[in-house]
Amino acid sequence: MKFGVFDHMDRAGASLGEQYESRLKLIEAYDRLGFHAYHVAEHHATPLGMAPSPGVFLAAIAQRTRRLRFGPLVYTLNLYHPLRLIDEICMLDQMSGGRLELGVGRGISPFEVGYFGVDPATGPERFAETLAVVLKGLTSHTLSHSGPHFTFRDVPIELEPVQRPHPPLWYGANTPDSAERLARQGYNVVVGLPARGVRAFVDRYRAERHRLGKPDAALPLLGMSRHVVVSDTDAEAVAAAQRAFRLWYAALEHLWRKNGVGLPRQLIPADFDEAVAGGYIVAGSPATVRDRMRQDNEVAGINYCLCRMAFGDLSYEESARSIDLFAREVMPAL
């Protein structure tokens, strides 16, 4: 079992400069305490995402850490020119000594890509072509491609990543229906479902790998994401989590509410108690968090625990205490 951190970098109320610095201090703690990786979301025109250019923030992380792996979860590929993204990926992998984890996706919000003049209806096609161009560029010295959105002929590729053929790929899934495809492509996956839904995905993913004759020893990371708050007592943790979750959820639905549309149904429930019951939030003393996560991990069949440790208006001190308790008293038991 490995442990990672997912961060929307939602607006915390402090000045942005203070928020970035406090996050970087927390990330130094993840590095020091043995977390596997830090993953940051990409969002635009919404308080859900104060790191809309994830590569800029990840470059700072490369210099503030030594062992921690990191990456976007995900780069919204439909907003990038592939040549520019190839260069950015190579630079981040080189600057970190080969610690980049490469999350890719179309982006869940049609409003965000729409603000950039990208038609959401072209999302699947544009995503597939952009990804194909990026992967081709990461594995060759000259790039040629002809497609509906991009055409390149003998473009020199001067940079290359440390990791070959490219940094590990990540994808966020909200349904088991993509399991077989992602297994064939060898993606690491984070599944945004309750434990039993995650298990359905994991079982289908593993079955497809077995059908292809791929060994379990080389299984990619398969995880589920949860908000996690650990305090000295259950009451203290639940109070902090409930307060912070309310603000985080307001940021999550901000653009959808602004456009008079409800959130997609597969996303996390708005009601705090319902979200706790579904395993989307785990808050309590170390013993409480340990027991609930052990239970859900066994049901889900995962090998990666992805935790949101800083969200809403959790203070730096609250998050730092939570991270320390989690690393010392929860991680070793799991």
DSSP string, 21-75: HHHHHHHHHHHHHT--EEEE----SSTT-S-SSHHHHHHHHHHH-SS-EEEES-E
**Measured distance CA(184)–CA(170) in Å, rounded:** 13
The whole-chain average pLDDT of the chain stands at: 96
Segment 160-180 mean pLDDT: 96
Helices (H), the chain: 16-33, 54-64, 82-95, 110-115, 123-138, 179-185, 195-211, 234-252, 254-258, 272-277, 286-300, 316-325
Q: What is the pLDDT of residues 102-140, one digit of tens each?
A: 999 998 899 999 999 999 888 899 999 999 999 999 999
**Measured distance CA(219)–CA(205) in Å, rounded:** 10
Query: With the CA atoms of 160, 166, 168 and 174 taken in that order, what torsion angle do they form, in degrees rounded to the nearest 10?
Result: 110
Residue 14: per-residue pLDDT: 77
CATH 3.90.190.10 fits 2-73+169-333, yes or no: no
Residue 265: per-residue pLDDT: 65
Segment 26-41 mean pLDDT: 98
Residue 12: per-residue pLDDT: 86
Angle, nearest 10°, between helix axes 286-300 and 195-211? Answer: 40
Burial 256-278 (b: 16+ CB within 10 A, else e): beeeeeebeeebbbeebeebbeb
Read off the tokens for 91: 């630079």
**Are 61 and 31 in contact, with CB atoms under 8 Å apart?**
no
Residue 298 φ then ψ, to 5°: -65, -40
**Measured distance CA(332)–CA(324) in Å, rounded:** 12
Query: What percentage of the chain reaches a pLDDT higher than 70?
Result: 99
Q: Which residues contact 117 (CB under 8 A, 6 or more apart)?
A: none
What is the CB-side half-sphere exposure of residue 111 using CA atoms within 13 A?
A: 16
